[in-house]
Amino acid sequence: MSPDGISNSPTPTIDAIIEQGSYTMTARGVLPTSSSPNWKSMISGSDTEQHGVTSNKWQMDNFVLPGVATGIDDIYPTIFGILREQRANAKIGAIYDWKGF
């Protein structure tokens, strides 16, 4: 879904979300532009060079580039791990359907 697609099509639900939240039409994916590196960048606030997730084949025990820092479970810190460290009793949830994520 591109910014041009949203701007040039009727998208009332997306338009309502934009009006009520934060958004950008100029964001760029990290390189490489595959899912795992980009998801890791979103939940860690860091680029591939820092977190070390370089492909969709990345696994905790099988990777090419180690992260420059480690957090919970010896992986590069994420918003979830930082929240857990700062608010141990916080309820944290993630919904996903991707084996290995």
| CB within 8 Å of 86: residues ≥ 6 apart | none
Condensed to tens digits (0 to 9), the pLDDT of residues 24-79 reads: 888 888 999 888 999 999 999 999 999 999 999 998 888 899 999 998 888 899 99
pLDDT score at 19: 93
Ordered by start, the domain boundaries in the chain are 29-86
Average pLDDT over residues 19-26: 89
Do residues 36 and 56 make contact, with C-beta atoms less than 8 angstroms apart? yes
**70: amino acid identity, one letter:** T
pLDDT score at 12: 94
pTM for the whole thing?
0.72
